Structure 1
Amino acid sequence: MDGMARDGGLASRVSAGGGRRQWSAAQKAAIVAESYATGVRVSEVAARHGVNESLVFTWRRQARTLQTMEASEKANEELRSPPASFVPVLLCDDAAADQRQQRVAGSIEIAVADVSIRVTAGVDAATLAMVLAAVRGVG
């Protein structure tokens, strides 16, 4: 047997033992994609491939769920590694600020809420990002 049974002009896949048919992910994806084509009925696609219409709808739902999960994973990844962004900088002319600047040459001071963070040259960007995220969460 060549794996195909023909009845009434419809080709359907059957296993050699007469059990359930196995569809690869690529085959399912192709059938689902075909079922979304403009002007095509799911029942026609199902009949063309020798599967029950409800199975095509199940595969479509699974594909949507997979896409949603992948989008969610991507969003979570973006949250774990936030993009670099610009923050407002306030320049002040008071004497205390001048003294602090002279004490630590090549550093900046970041004020977030009521917290002040001094950053010196060569600070690890990932560490600074974690510190700022923590301060923002507290403030």
Structure 2
Amino acid sequence: MIISGDDPVSKGAQRFEVFTGAGKRREWPPEVKASIVAECYSGRDGVSAVARRHGLDPSQVYAWRRDLRKQLEAKGGILPSEEPEAVAFVPAVIEPSAVSGPAPTRRPRRRRCAAAAAVELEIDGVAVKIGRSADVGVIAAVIEALKATR
């Protein structure tokens, strides 16, 4: 078999790259790891959100949590419960509408759907009306904002 001198194999390396950066592997000090794991147990964000915020893979944060749990169990300590808060419903209060005078003689106009609120919340004296077209994320953000003001 004869290899001609024009092919890339016989010419040798034409180009090479030198990587001088740290690459993907990073060293995390123990206090930073503990801080990141503590964020996971704060109840505000899940592991994936915390990992994303710090540029980590969620599996790495789970491994750190597991390591911390093993260290604490060896010393006789325990981590906070990973159970989410129990969901509780707020009792609905329906106020009777005040009907005064005779019934109207003409047909009432239909109200526009956008004008009526689908959800009305009152927490610690703060009343909020959320429209029918609001998505779940908006409603959750409003409830979290109301909780934070307590």
TM interval, short-chain normalised: 0.3 to 0.5
So what's the TM-score if we normalise by structure 1?
A: 0.39
- Higher strand share goes to which structure? 1
- Higher helix share goes to which structure? 1
So what's the TM-score if we normalise by structure 2?
A: 0.36
